[in-house]
A and B are shown apart, each in its own frame.
Chain A
């Protein structure tokens, strides 16, 4: 696709997916600044994708048919890649043990093979669990110095971060801190509602997996995490709140961040 072709609807979808090649991406970003309707369209496509992924969630939580797990196993004690093997009729205990021995714990679980770094949602949940329960020092800089907090984090992370306003969802900013990441540090914003329930937003930018976009849910040790990757930045909203509520807040976070990015730079 050449970069001098006019922008099409396909480009808008690709942009919403975070998959538009760089040259056309710049064109689209310029168009977004001129055209609020286009920005609304991008937001609508992203919301639609969230709705689609919600619709897929029950499938992801469904267990695999046992017969299939059994039938899909490669043959034991037989010449390997030559022709069919007989389909075992039973899901034997041995089969299930192999699955577990592999580190494959079934659908919805995180796959941990040797050398796999901590996944982003897991890191977010652990970070949340560590700081949200800290009574004295959950954050390094408190919300009364929000401007300083945001400037400091943006400087330390070397890209602009924003603390979304979650007032409409009943949550107020407590503050934020710098946290360790797999490769680079990340920023953590902590929020609290009137019931002292805390949620946190982890933001990080890594060298790896920059092309992947996602809006996914994970439950890690009782902490729910909605996470997505947008424009090479990973975001994870974590809290011990129910999934529907967390999703509603995640949508507001997403919208707030999109609005902050679209706002004219000072």
Chain B
């Protein structure tokens, strides 16, 4: 394929997903500037490996690259954040599985900004599945592929992420008022 045609095809196929790429990076890095760095690096790679995309769907493919770029960036810049063993943690999580209670009422009542802070405070391994699911609206299968974990683990992390969110200390004030309110 001539270079020009290659470039046009890249623009048509990949560029429309730039916003999705930026969203994911933004939520992963929690910083607009860092997100730009991660996405720039990811776009370079996407262009370099564009031939490998073939018939596959461009959005999950690009998000996979964004995620990889993010983890490399994280290793270099904030290594402390990746030092968590999520799935180990999951084993002990059955006990605090939540039922319908004031926590969920709190979530409904929380201001978007407060809720966003609570999401941003989740450990990265839980945050990424939640973002891929609720913001990017990807299927479990696509998430499993992007994060490179089994579908069962996607399900567990998602359930756990939502549970953690309900119990987030950042939603404490809303929770207090909900517990004393109606319902």
Contact = CB atoms under 8 A, between A and B. Distances in A.
Interface of A: 1, 9-14, 17, 19, 37, 40-41, 44-45, 47-49, 51-60, 64-65, 67-69, 71-85, 87, 98-99, 102-104, 106-107, 111, 113, 211-214, 216
B39 interface: yes
B61 interface: no
B129 to A, nearest CB: 11
Given A82-B48, A212-B137, 10 more contacts: A48-B166, A58-B116, A59-B23, A59-B27, A64-B19, A64-B22, A68-B36, A81-B6, A81-B50, A103-B16
B156 A10 contact: yes
For this complex, into which size category does the number of interface residues on chain B fall?
35 or more
A47 B137 CA distance: 16
A1 B115 contact: no
B20 to A, nearest CB: 9
Contact of A1 (B27, B110, B152): B152
B112 A48 contact: no
Contact of A48 (B27, B32, B104): B104
A71 B40 contact: yes
A69 B18 contact: yes
Contact of A211 (B51, B100, B139): B139
Interface of B: 3-4, 6-7, 10-12, 15-16, 18-19, 22-23, 26-27, 32, 36, 39-40, 43-44, 47-51, 94, 97, 99-100, 104, 107-108, 110, 112-113, 115-116, 119, 130, 133-135, 137, 139-140, 151-152, 155-156, 158-159, 162, 165-166
Contacts of A68: 18, 22, 36, 39-40
Contacts of B130: 52
A12 B27 CA distance: 26
Which of B10, B49, B107 has the most chain A CB within a 10 Å cutoff? B107
Contacts of A82: 48
Closest 6 CB pairs of A and B: A55-B115, A10-B155, A80-B3, A13-B159, A72-B43, A80-B6
Q: Which of A74, A78, A83 has the most CB of B within 10 A?
A: A74
Nearest to A76: B7
A104 B108 contact: no
Contacts of A58: 112, 116
A72 B134 contact: no
Contact of B140 (A19, A57, A103): A19
Given A10-B152, A55-B119, A104 B23 contact: no
Contacts of B139: 19, 211-212
